[in-house]
């Protein structure tokens, strides 16, 4: 496993993160356990701030969907980034964390009236409008509130990044945004410009996730600016700002070759700066929405090894006390991860095994075919690059409580998400009163 951030192997031969021995973390907080490297998370925020904001006066929005807690909101705010939220729940979390609402941008392809009212009430910086229905609803709600809503329109530019089929969002056939090629985008722009309670400030696109080919972003800039020139010719309006989404790829396994944030910024911002005059436009402010590349590498998940089952000549299954409940990505996307035995981190691999989750589901496999020292019950398995989409997508399948999360730095570990209990699992369950009445009647009848 590649050591990232503050990871190192200490003199006990244990994996250490943020100055904390991960074996001790497992003993003190239990497993499964999400471990977030605070120094590395902040470092990733700073890379984006320096590359886009300091160098190009751009705006960096942290994509909350990748990992959002009250503590994460505080760190993002302290590092000077803005926030991209996609639901009323994420918006509420930001508000409770006292995140500056003028730096919040509200996404989503099917926002409810209640969510839009909340956004207006909180005075978010921008609403990223996805479709005509939302546009009309927002105009009505803003009128009722006596305000003018600042919006950006999400478009689909027809740029297909090389990534997993389920996480490509820039192509024409997508549930997100309005298509440029067929005239839908031009139509919604004209509608937005005509509405009294809407102020259109810019355009948005997102071409996919886990992207390593930076020229995909340059191509998106060319398409978006070319379209903006058409809009200016037809309406006289041009975008003050242009948001190119996120999608920067990170290291999960040796097959991944991430690009530097500075190279990403130079590729995109220079493309916008050079192309805008060619299309007769003033260069718009560049916005980006990194999420995975901020939180992903900063996260590690610890598990305790249970049963080890060898099928001679076939495979050795190593079962851990978590799985698709805390990390559904392998089941959803066939995602691959690296791992090591945290309590034997200095030992060389001895055999190829496969890591199985504990859910009652044959597809609950965390890692197929990984070389490790021969695992035994009680070993602590550390899976790297689990900071993005793991906690966010976690679930209670099989009524498994979701893990705790600790933030580690300088030898200190702080709980930022408490471990769920069995009581948490039934907290929202309700038994109809008539069931109790029937039970009383049955007991009374049995006593006759």
Token output for 134: 């939302």
pLDDT, tens digit, 9 for 90 and up, residues 212-243: 999 999 999 999 999 999 999 999 999 999 99
Parallel/antiparallel/unpaired status of strands 412-417 and 339-341: unpaired
| pLDDT at residue 261, rounded to an integer | 97
CA dihedral sign, ordered 400, 392, 328, 176: positive
Q: How far apart are CA 441 and CA 301, in angstroms?
A: 50
DSSP state of 248: B
Distances (CA, A) of 178 to 199, 241, 265: 18, 18, 26
Q: Is the pLDDT of residue 294 over 90?
A: yes
Estimate to the nearest angstrom the gap between the alpha carbon of 117 and the chain centroid. 24
pLDDT, tens digit, 9 for 90 and up, residues 37-80: 999 999 999 999 999 999 999 999 999 999 999 999 999 999 99
Average pLDDT over residues 108-124: 97
Share of the chain above pLDDT 90, in %: 90
Closest CA to 79 of 102, 116, 121, 45: 45
- Cα dihedral angle (218, 224, 230, 231), rounded to 10 degrees? -150
Estimate to the nearest angstrom the gap between the alpha carbon of 33 and the chain centroid. 18
pLDDT, tens digit, 9 for 90 and up, residues 186-195: 999 999 999 9
pLDDT, tens digit, 9 for 90 and up, residues 135-189: 999 999 999 999 999 999 999 987 765 544 433 344 556 677 888 888 899 999 9
| pLDDT at residue 175, rounded to an integer | 73
Q: Is the pLDDT of residue 433 over 70?
A: yes
Report the catalytic residues: 360
Average pLDDT over residues 93-117: 97
Start-to-end CA span in the chain (Å): 69
DSSP 154-212: EEE-----SS-GGG--SSSS-SSSEESTTSHHHHHHHHHHH-TTEEEEEEE----SSB-
Lowest-pLDDT range, 65-79, 193-207, 281-295, 434-448? 434-448
Neighbouring-strand partners of residue 316 = 310
Q: Which residues have C-beta within 8 Å of that of residue 395, sequence separation ≥ 6?
A: 324, 325, 328, 402
> pLDDT category, 208, cuts 50, 70, 90?
confident
Closest CA to 157 of 248, 220, 233, 242: 220
């Amino acid at each position: 496993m590649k050591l990232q951030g503050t990871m190192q192997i200490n003199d006990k031969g244990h994996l250490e993160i943020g100055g904390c021995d991960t074996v001790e973390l497992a003993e003190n907080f239990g497993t499964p356990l999400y471990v977030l490297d605070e120094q590395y998370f902040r470092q990733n925020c700073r890379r984006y701030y320096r590359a886009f904001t300091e160098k190009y006066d751009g705006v960096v929005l942290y994509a909350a969907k990748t990992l959002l807690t009250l503590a994460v909101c505080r760190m993002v705010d302290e590092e000077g980034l803005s926030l991209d939220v996609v639901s009323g729940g994420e918006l509420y979390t930001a508000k409770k964390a006292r995140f500056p609402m003028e730096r919040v941008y509200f996404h989503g392809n099917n926002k409810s009236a209640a969510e839009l009212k909340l956004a207006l009430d909180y005075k978010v910086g921008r609403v990223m409008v996805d479709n005509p229905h939302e546009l009309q609803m927002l105009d009505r709600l803003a009128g009722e509130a006596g305000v003018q809503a600042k919006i950006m329109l999400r478009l689909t530019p027809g740029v297909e990044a090389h990534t997993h089929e389920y996480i490509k969002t820039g192509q024409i056939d997508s549930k997100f945004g309005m298509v440029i090629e067929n005239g839908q985008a031009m139509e919604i722009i004209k509608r937005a410009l005509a509405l009294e309670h809407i102020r259109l400030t810019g355009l948005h696109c997102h071409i996919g996730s886990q992207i390593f080919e930076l020229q995909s972003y340059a191509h998106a800039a060319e398409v978006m600016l070319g379209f903006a020139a058409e809009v200016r010719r037809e309406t006289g309006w041009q975008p003050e700002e242009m948001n190119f989404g996120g999608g920067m790829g990170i290291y999960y396994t040796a097959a991944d070759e991430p690009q530097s944030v500075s190279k990403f910024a130079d590729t995109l911002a220079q493309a916008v700066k050079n192309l805008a005059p060619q299309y007769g436009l003033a260069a718009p402010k560049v916005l980006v929405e990194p999420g995975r590349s901020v939180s992903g590498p900063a996260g590690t998940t610890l598990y305790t090894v249970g049963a080890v089952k060898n099928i001679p000549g076939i495979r050795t299954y190593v079962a851990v006390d978590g799985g698709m409940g805390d990390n559904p990505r392998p089941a959803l996307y066939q995602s691959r991860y690296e791992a090591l035995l945290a309590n034997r981190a200095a030992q060389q691999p001895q055999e190829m095994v496969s890591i199985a989750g504990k859910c009652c589901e044959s597809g609950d496999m965390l890692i197929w075919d990984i070389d490790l020292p021969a695992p035994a019950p009680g070993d602590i398995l550390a899976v790297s690059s689990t900071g993005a989409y793991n906690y966010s997508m976690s679930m209670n399948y099989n009524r498994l409580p979701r893990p705790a999360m600790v933030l580690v730095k300088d030898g200190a570990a702080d709980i930022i998400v408490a471990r769920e209990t069995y009581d948490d699992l039934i907290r929202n369950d309700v038994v109809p009163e008539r069931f109790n009445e029937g039970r009383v009647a049955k007991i009374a009848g049995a006593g006759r």
